[in-house]
Amino acid sequence: MGVLAGRTALVTGASRGIGRGIAERLGRDGARVAVHYGRNGGAARETVAAIEAAGGSAFAIRADLRAPGAAEALWEEFDRHADGVDVLVNNAGIGNTRPIAEIGEEEYDAVFAVNVKAPFFILAHGMERLRDHGRVVNISSGLARTAVMPDNMAYAMTKGALDVLSRDLSKVLGARGITVNSVAPGIVDTDNTAELLHGSADGWDRAAAFSALGGVGAPAEIADVVAFLASHEGRWVTGSWVDATGGSLT
Ligand SMILES: NC(=O)c1ccc[n+]([C@@H]2O[C@H](COP(=O)([O-])OP(=O)(O)OC[C@H]3O[C@@H](n4cnc5c(N)ncnc54)[C@H](OP(=O)(O)O)[C@@H]3O)[C@@H](O)[C@H]2O)c1
């Protein structure tokens, strides 16, 4: 029996990339997984199918996290399938690479809406659905702690804000035995980084050179860290910022 048997997990942005890796891992660990998505219903159904093919249980829920009222819409969908959540992973996010002098307000608002406002209100409206001794994991970024790519400033700022949410919420939820942590990937091979990694002949090698381990991350590597925090073994880790960059900040 998996270590999360009998638990329910919700992973935002689980149709693709890191979120999909996390959803599949939590499903293998025995959790029933809510696979949230925005636009790609077909990809979300593929995640659900992969979890079921591995012997797990999952369902897909849709909510556009850029839209006003997104968090309420997400929980309304969730409530049709489950009556509480044990592991909540705020993973959905969008990147933004543009020099500060060129970024417009609309673009700035979009990256903050998806990366900060949505997780904040998903948690604000999710408190009553989170079960005692549950887990919250917010997917941050190594860029919150390094200026190595300053054209990603607005994006990095969103992750800095998310990290404050993890830290402060750990104090609010600690009395209920709920842990709250940030997990910060470095460069991971997903659609989000396709241009960076595959858009030029040396993209992959330049990205790999950031990491002490000399590689580019895979969604499964981030999922393993999340799985630890979600497990019983992770019960004494809270309010933390977990570096999952493969040593890109050393
Ligand atoms: N890849 C990296 O190198 C890297 C590094 C550090 C941190 N991260 C963080 O890791 C997380 C996942 O990144 P990724 O690389 O896996 O991204 P990705 O492959 O681009 O996938 C993004 C996911 O977020 C969902 N999403 C995006 N905008 C949405 C919206 N408006 N409403 C609802 N869902 C939305 C997408 O759903 P749909 O496709 O269904 O719309 C998709 O499932 C993000 O928070 C990102 O900042 C990534």
pTM, whole model, 2 decimals? 0.99
| CA-proximal residue: ligand 1, atom 47 (nearest) | 93
Does some domain include residue 78? yes
Q: Is the Cβ–Cβ distance between 138 and 180 less than 8 Å?
A: yes
Task: Say what the pLDDT of residue 1 is.
Answer: 78
Out of 18, 141, 249, mutate this one to test ligand 1's pocket (max ligand atoms within 8 Å of CB): namely 18
Using one digit for the tens of pLDDT, what is the confidence trace for 147-166? 999 999 999 999 999 999 99
- Domain total of the chain: 1
Q: What are phi and psi of 130, to 5 degrees?
A: -70, 125
**Catalytic pick among 37, 155, 166, 248:** 155
What percent of the chain has a predicted confidence (pLDDT) above 70?
100
Domain encompassing residue 176: 8-240
Pocket around ligand 1 at a 6 A CB cut-off: 13, 15-19, 37-40, 64-66, 91-94, 114, 139, 141, 185, 187-188, 190-193
Our answer to whether residue 155 is catalytic in this structure is yes
Does some domain include residue 77? yes
Using one digit for the tens of pLDDT, what is the confidence trace for 161-211? 999 999 999 999 999 999 999 999 999 999 999 999 999 999 999 999 999
DSSP designation for 210:
T
Does some domain include residue 249? no
Q: Across residues 94-117, what is the average pLDDT?
A: 98
Does some domain include residue 246? no
What percent of the chain has a predicted confidence (pLDDT) above 90?
99
Distance CA 26, CA 162 (A): 22
- Tabulate helix, strand, coil % of the chain (nearest 5): 45, 20, 35
Does some domain include residue 2? no
- What is the CATH number for 76? 3.40.50.720
Q: Across residues 10-28, what is the average pLDDT?
A: 99
Using one digit for the tens of pLDDT, what is the confidence trace for 53-94? 999 999 999 999 999 999 999 999 999 999 999 999 999 999
In this structure, the dihedral spanned by the alpha carbons of residues 215, 219, 222 and 226, taken in order and rounded to 10 degrees, is: -170
